[in-house]
Amino acid sequence: MTELKRIDPRGPRFGAAITSVFAIIAFGFSLDTWVYAWLIMWVLFALFALSVFGKNITHPYSYLFQKFVRPRLSAPAELEDSRPPHFAQQVGLSFAVFGVISGFFWPLGVTIAAAFIFLAAFLNAFFGLCLGCQMYLGLRRIGLLRQ
C-alpha cells in the first residue's frame, strides 16, 4: 500500500476557480460561436488530462498556487487526502472528453459539458463543495471503490 498523500485543500479550490473561468467562457461562446467553445473545451481536456495522467509533471494550476498564492497564506488548518480531489479531476476529465467528442457532431454537447464543468468547479471554488469528492466518498461508502 502506498503512503497517503496529504494536500493543502486550498490548492484544488484555486484550480477550480481557474477552471470555472474557462468553463463559463466556453459556455458563453457555445451559445453563439460553438467552435470557440469547443477549442476551450480542448484546453479543459488537456488540463484535466494533465492532472489525471501527468504524475511527474507539475500542473500549471499547482505551479501557480505554489509559486504565487501559497507563500501569501498562513499554514492550512489541516491537510486533506489527495484521492478525492484526484477522483474529482477524473470526473472533470470525463465531462471534458464528452465535450470534445460531441463537438465533432453535436454542438449542444459542448454547451452541456461546459455547464456541468462550470457548475462543479464553481461550487468547489466558491463554496468548498467538491461534487467529485462527494461522489468518491459515496462510492467508497457503498463499496464500489476501495482504499
Domain that holds residue 31: 8-70+80-141
- Predicted confidence at residue 40, as pLDDT, reads 98
Distance between CA 123 and CA 131 in Å, rounded? Answer: 8
- Predicted confidence at residue 1, as pLDDT, reads 45
Residue 146 belongs to some domain of the structure: no
Residue 1 belongs to some domain of the structure: no
Q: At what angle do helices 34-53 and 83-102 cross, to 10 degrees?
A: 150
Residue 120 belongs to some domain of the structure: yes
pTM, two decimals, is 0.93
Q: Which amino acid is at 123?
A: L
- Predicted confidence at residue 3, as pLDDT, reads 62
Q: How many domains does the chain have?
A: 1
Helix (H) or strand (E) holding 95: helix 83-102
- Predicted confidence at residue 55, as pLDDT, reads 80
Q: List, for residues 60-94, the tens digit of each pLDDT value.
A: 999 999 999 999 999 999 999 999 999 999 999 99
Angle at 32 between CA 28 and CA 35, to 5 degrees: 90
Residue 89 belongs to some domain of the structure: yes
Residue 2 belongs to some domain of the structure: no
Range in 20-24, 56-60, 131-135, 141-145 with the lowest mean pLDDT: 56-60
